[in-house]
Amino acid sequence: MTQRPLAVTLGEPAGIGPDITLALWLERNARGLPPFYVAADPDFLRRRAHRIGLDVPVAVVEPEAAAAAFAASLPVVPLGLPVTAEPGRPDESSAPAAIAAIRRAVADVVHGRARALVTNPVAKAVLYRNGFTDPGHTEYLARLAAELLGAAEPHPVMMLWAPELAVVPVTVHVALRDVPRQLTRDLIVETGRIVARDLKLRFRIARPRLVAAGLNPHAGEDGALGPEDRDVVAPAVAALQAEGIDIRGPLPADTMFHAAARARYDAALCMYHDQALIPIKTLAFDHAVNVTLGLPFVRTSPDHGTAFDIAGTGRASPASLAAALALADRLTAPADEPVT
């Protein structure tokens, strides 16, 4: 049986996504990467490869032929629309290409033509200027999954994963002043359920161990430094424990991320964006992976942005994209193979 490939999206064409995808194909053997294809404009990728001085042959294929083509050329599933953006300069082709690549790749995964989705970074501001109405990439994936499957829209949860640490921001792209209002017991409980379920289902951890960070310094000091940890976080932790989930908290965030503390849990629920992302980017800046939990398929992504300033220079590192591909491969491995 032909091995199903991983589906990689183009991302923002003016960013570094095309650069690191091309570079990674050249490193496929050294890194032991599984077969993948890119949903993109093949002529655009050929031009970008020439610009950054990479000798990457491009093969226009359908997903079913990607694995066979992968050894000799970069398989590209065409989008049927031209891409004209120059490095660092998004244009009118950027948003349609980025969205079309996502739609094509998600459809291939949902319909069994690809094993998992690996997304290159998009520029939300570029999408918004072109009528994109979802808050971000992740929310769009949830809506698209529901549309393609004819099912209820799933609740997506963002997890940043590296061998050193896994963190989940309960509130994500929210102004700090708005976090206490948006942070509810129900949101924490729903997030904890999804994390525990997917750590068991996808990562094959028999009994996932979770911790919940306090929102306030010292986890609120029993209300002295703010009531949220006592009145919101602690009841949510108690509710999850009552469901049989192994979780502790709220814990002071300033003592959760040293090596001895990390050894005692599999994932940390953090109450806001930077509480989660600062520690993991400190520990694993070049190889952390963004994993979306709660979707009906595996989705991973590099943990960096479009980097317009170095797009088209050949200086962008493909390390995080390589880590995203490797994790997507492991999370979709046969059931008798362990995930490490």
Domains assigned to the chain: 1-154+296-340 (3.40.718.10), 157-294 (3.40.718.10)
pLDDT at 179 over 50: yes
pLDDT given for residue 149 in this prediction? 87
Residue 102 DSSP SS3: helix
Residue 340 has pLDDT above 70, yes or no: no
Residue 249 near residue 128 (C-beta atoms within 8 A): no
Query: What percentage of the chain exceeds 90 in pLDDT?
Result: 85
Burial (CB < 10 A; 0-12, 13-18, 19+), residue 278, is middle
Query: Mean pLDDT over all residues of the chain?
Result: 94
**Pairwise CA distance, residues 30 & 72, whole Å:** 15
pLDDT in tens, 200-233: 999 999 999 999 999 999 998 989 999 999 999 9
CA pair distance 13, 306, nearest whole angstrom: 9
How buried is residue 32: exposed, middle or buried, by Cβ count under 10 Å (0-12/13-18/19+)?
exposed
What band does 2 get if pLDDT is binned at 50, 70 and 90?
low
The stretch 69-96 carries a mean pLDDT of 96
Cα–Cα dist 284/287, whole Å: 6
pLDDT score of 338: 47
Q: What is the pLDDT of residue 138?
A: 86
Q: What is the pLDDT of residue 336?
A: 52
Residue 75, pLDDT above cutoff 80: yes
pLDDT in tens, 299-326: 999 988 999 999 999 999 999 999 999 9
